């Protein structure tokens, strides 16, 4: 049983952003400050990655723990209401992420995925991982 009314739940769900989140903005600013130029949410790239570096064939995704099922096997029973809906939705998101990774890799892209909290807590480490991938791609050229 949901503790919110249908109207309250609808407003809450509408307020959830799919791009331009605080975490994405933090990563974007950090990358820009390092001198990296990227494209945000490029619709021309399969899966619409949060950041793309076409020149280096690098696609980066910033995944929210809830929506993308971090530690899913341990956490899937945390949902108290409408479990069937949430299990199905999040399981499909996990599957879609795998499909997108596979598709991009087949097209020659390198894929990095970061959990939102990893970016919050270890922004510098995440930027260094991206920088390493870019440097590897530069050496191959």
Going residue by residue through the chain, which has 141 residues, state the pLDDT in tens, using 9 for 90 and above: 566 677 776 676 555 656 678 899 999 999 999 999 999 999 999 999 999 999 999 999 999 888 788 877 777 777 777 778 888 888 999 999 999 999 999 999 999 999 999 999 999 999 999 999 999 998 876
Burial 83-100 (b: 16+ CB within 10 A, else e): eeebeeebeebeeebeeb
Q: What is the dihedral of CA 21, 22, 27, 28, to 10 degrees?
A: 70
Question: For the purposes of burial, counting CB atoms within 10 Å of the CB of 112, is it exposed (0-12), middle (13-18) or buried (19 or more)?
Answer: middle
Indicate the pairing of strand 51-53 with strand 110-115.
Answer: unpaired
Q: Where are the domains of the chain?
A: 18-140
Dist CA 70 CA 64 (whole Å):
8
β partners of residue 61: 113
pLDDT at 130: 97
pLDDT at 65: 83
Q: What angle do CA 17, 127, 140 make, to 5 degrees?
A: 115
SS3 state of residue 79: coil
Check the CA dihedral 102-25-13-41 and report its sign: negative
Assessment of whether the complete model's pTM goes beyond 0.85: no
How far lies 57's CA from each of 3, 9, 67, 113, 135, in Å?
46, 40, 26, 14, 12
The yes/no answer on whether domain 18-140 falls in CATH 1.20.1260.10 is no
């Amino acid at each position: 049983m949901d503790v919110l009314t249908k109207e309250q739940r609808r407003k809450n769900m509408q307020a959830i952003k799919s791009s331009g989140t605080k975490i994405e903005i933090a990563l974007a600013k950090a990358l820009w400050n390092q001198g990296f130029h990227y494209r945000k949410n490029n619709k021309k790239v399969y899966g619409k990655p949060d950041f793309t570096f076409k020149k280096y064939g690098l696609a980066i995704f910033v995944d929210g723990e809830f929506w993308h099922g971090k530690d899913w096997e341990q956490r899937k029973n945390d949902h108290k209401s409408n479990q069937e809906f949430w299990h199905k939705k999040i399981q499909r998101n996990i599957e879609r992420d795998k499909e997108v990774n596979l598709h991009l890799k087949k097209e020659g892209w390198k894929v990095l995925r970061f959990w939102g909290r990893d970016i919050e807590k270890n922004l510098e480490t995440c930027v260094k991982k991206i920088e390493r991938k870019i440097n590897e791609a530069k050496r191959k050229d």
